[in-house]
Each structure stands twice: as C-alpha cells, then as structure tokens.
Amino acid sequence: MITPILPRPRLQRLVRLYAGLVLYGLSGALLIEARLGSMPWDVLHQGLALRVGLSIGTWSVIVGAALMLLWIPLRQKPGLGTLSNVVVIGVGVDLFLWLLPTTDSLVLRAGLLALGVLACAVATGCYIGAGLGAGPRDGLMTGLAARGWSVRLARTVIEITVVVTGVLLGGTAGVGTVVFAVTIGPLAQVFLPMFRMTEMPSEEPSSPHR
C-alpha cells in the first residue's frame, strides 16, 4: 500500500502528511466558525460559496486544482503531498464545520481564532515537514519566486489579491485575517524544524569479510 518511491521512513512520512492535512482542515474550520475573519484563501472560498453555491470545502478543492494548472508554465512539480493537499483539506474543512458547534460568545470565538491559528502552524510543520510536496498555493508562491520575485513579495501580492477578491464576493475578512497573517509565519517557523524529516539512507548489504 505504500508507494516504494517515497523517501524513508515511508509510513512515518505518510502519517505525518495526512495528520497535518486533517489538522489544517480543522484550523480552517475553527477560523471560519470564529467569525472574526478567515485565513486569506478561505475568504475567497467563502465568497465563492456565497455567490455561486457549493460548500467552502468544495471550493477549496476546486481552487486548489485550478492552481495546479498554473504550475505548468511555472514548471513546478507536484508530489503526493500536493495532490493530497487539494482533496484532504477541503474535505476536512466541510467535515469540521459540520461537527463544530456555533457560538455567539465573543470570548469563545476569540478562543476558536487563537486555536485555529495555532493548529494551522502545527499542521504546516507536519505536512511540509513530511517532505512529500508543497501545497498548490505554496507552489504558486515558490514558482513566482523562481521567476525572480522575492518570496515575501509573491506571498503578499497573492494573498492581498485573494482577500480583496474574496471580500468583494462576500467572504469574511477581519481582525482574524490580520492576526493570522501576522502570526502564522513566526509560529510556522517554530514548528517546521520540530517536524521536518530527513531521508534515511538506503540499507546496503555489507561487504563479506575476507
């Protein structure tokens, strides 16, 4: 069941990848349920869901798949993690939105916001640390960086464009969006080294003694 081309340790990488992607879906649902401003891409997904129909998670899958088409001219190569990112996060967002209770308490909503940001940072460390391919949104950023953009400029332009488009469509941007944008980088920087995996050397038969 485990693809032999995966770097070793294979099972541990797969567990870390899918645990991270499920947790990322949970983080998105927490931020949406907080109703204080979603993460930038979910602002767009919300707006599309409101204007066109379908669920937020479904739009996450559709947008992720469309972004992978942009990888072709940017010469980015998808991996198992890329393809899994497109599907698992979108399904996870819809599942957890269905499971999470709704609250009008500002204190509880602020708690959901804080928990969502922290969960996203841990999730980022897990799925990127597995080393099985960047997500479609990250690949767009790195592809532009490979064409001469700075990573900071590429991320800023992409996320501002996404948020503005999402807001115009009716998505929710607010203090939570700002808090996410400001804190996710430093927090992810903490968790990435904790979960980063290195490839183990292949076992080779030892030379016979003479």
Q: What is the DSSP string of 6-22?
A: SPSSHHHHHHHHHHHHH
Residue 150 has which token pair?
Answer: 């700075």
In the DSSP assignment, the letter for residue 206 is P
CB 115 within 8 A of CB 22: no
What are the distances in angstroms from CA 172 to CA 36, 112, 131, 205? 8, 15, 32, 58
Q: Which has more confidence, 95 or 141?
A: 95
In the DSSP assignment, the letter for residue 1 is -
Share of the chain above pLDDT 70, in %: 91
At 94-109, the pLDDT tens digits run 999 999 999 999 999 9
Residue 111 has which token pair?
Answer: 């708690």
CB 113 within 8 A of CB 28: no
Q: Which has more confidence, 150 or 100?
A: 100
* pLDDT range class, residue 200, cuts 50, 70, 90: low
- Number of neighbours of residue 172 by Cβ within 10 angstroms: 20
pTM of the model: 0.87
Q: What whole-number distance in Å separates Cα of residue 188 and Cα of residue 130?
A: 14
